[in-house]
Amino acid sequence: MLLVSAPVLGEEEKAALAAVIDDGWVTMGDRVREFEHTFARMHEAEDSIAVGSCTAALHLILHSLGIGPGDEVLVPSLTFVATANAVLYVGARPVFVDVESASVPLMSLDDAEAKCTSRTAAVVLVHFAGYLAYRDAWQSFARRKGLLLIEDAAHAPGLPAVGTYGEAAAFSFYGNKNMTTAEGGAVIAHSRSLRETIRRARSHGMTSNTRQRLTSRRPDYDVTMLGFNYRMDELRAAVGLAQLRKLPEWNAIRQRLSLSYRQLIAEHCPLVLVPFEALWPSTHHLIPVVLPTSTRRQHIIDRLRKRGIQTTVHYPPVHRLTFYRDLYPDTSLPLTEQFAQRELTLPLHPRMTQSDVEMVVSTLAAAIGDEFPVGAVA
């Protein structure tokens, strides 16, 4: 099966894990700190904080910024559910915002403007599929409205522009991301004081960790705030350091494959829309396509699967999931809903070759041909 995503793990990662086991220190320690410095340098930031997941990163950012009960936070519905969940974790209310269009399935500034109220405290931008949101426009919007600006950068590690939009950015290293630590995440924050608050909150609000107490030879510590167990361990950090060394090359491969997809789809599947412009700043985490209106998407999925090609959907709109539909039954996002009904995500990862892309597109073209024979109107 040609998978939608596949981690690239090998001898370097095995050796890194073995070295941690041989050292005997497996919880948060020197490798975590090295990973934080290395990740920060890649994004031209002063520092970063490694955590257990991107969800933890989002929760810590919102918590540390003081977002809470009575506040509203603008979020897209075209995202993974964790984006909205993190808002509920701090007792605030997620307000779902529609996308701009099928060609640019990023959160709409116009709809965000319409949904701002006196209770709106923050906006969480999602760099969907690795394609960056409009920085200048959103910064201007946030300043004008007095909002905190946060990036959900789960899809976008490796671009220096990421993490520069507002207060902080949350990253994911889950197994299907551009680089992986199996589970894991990180925060980049502009303010040193915010970073220190997040760093302390990730470990129960404690004033020192186990390694620091060992080094200082003092067993005592204090707890100065409400905190959580959101730490990254040495095993994941070791894998992450090996992955970071290869991330620029992998992102470049993704870019080449994405451009090839665009060219071949334009030639062989002219009824299929590939969102975003070819030169849009991106880490090319996903290759989403929009099928023609009235297409039986399951038929396309089945045809590709018979050829050994996995596909998926990014995403079922969060506001249409049972939990959120019950919470906010009157939410309607027409453009998000239309996009989600027609979107299909094709395989894209560094293990793929040009011939893989050609095989996917030729199979897609044949399946589209079944739906829309020559002479038929889409």
Q: What distance in Å separates the CA atoms of residue 355 and residue 342, rounded to the nearest whole number?
A: 26
In this predicted structure, what is the pLDDT of residue 378?
Answer: 39
CB contact at 8 A, 51 and 173: no
In this predicted structure, what is the pLDDT of residue 376?
Answer: 45
Q: Which helix (H) or strand (E) holds 344?
A: strand 343-346
Sign of the Cα torsion 250, 253, 259, 261 reads negative
In this predicted structure, what is the pLDDT of residue 375?
Answer: 47
Q: Is the pLDDT of residue 283 over 60?
A: yes
- pLDDT category at 371 given cuts 50, 70, 90 is confident
Q: Where are the domains of the chain?
A: 11-242, 247-371
Stretch 141-160: mean pLDDT: 98
Per CATH, is 11-242 categorized as 2.102.10.10? no
CATH of region 247-371, choose from 3.40.50.2300, 3.40.50.300, 3.90.1150.10, 3.40.50.10490: 3.90.1150.10
In this predicted structure, what is the pLDDT of residue 233?
Answer: 97
Percent of the chain with pLDDT over 70: 97
Q: What is the pTM of this model?
A: 0.95
- pLDDT category at 374 given cuts 50, 70, 90 is low
Q: Which residues pair with 148 in a beta bridge?
A: 122
- pLDDT category at 173 given cuts 50, 70, 90 is very high
In this predicted structure, what is the pLDDT of residue 377?
Answer: 41
| 177 in catalytic set | yes
Each residue's pLDDT tens digit, 7-53? 999 999 999 999 999 999 999 999 999 999 999 999 999 999 999 99
Q: Which residues pair with 187 in a beta bridge?
A: 49, 170
In this predicted structure, what is the pLDDT of residue 42?
Answer: 97
The alpha carbon of residue 358 and the mean position of all alpha carbons in its chain are separated, in whole angstroms, by 27
Mean pLDDT rounded to a whole number for the chain = 96
Stretch 293-322: mean pLDDT: 97
Burial classification of residue 295, based on how many CB atoms lie within 10 Å of its CB (0-12 exposed, 13-18 middle, 19 or more buried): buried
Each residue's pLDDT tens digit, 76-128? 999 999 999 999 999 999 999 999 999 999 999 999 999 999 999 999 999 99
- pLDDT category at 215 given cuts 50, 70, 90 is confident
- pLDDT category at 147 given cuts 50, 70, 90 is very high
Q: What is the dihedral of CA 58, 61, 67, 68, to 10 degrees?
A: 60
Q: Is the pLDDT of residue 341 over 50?
A: yes
Which residue among the candidates 14, 115, 145, 177 is catalytic per the annotation? 177
Q: Which two tokens stand for residue 173?
A: 């290293």
Stretch 231-260: mean pLDDT: 98
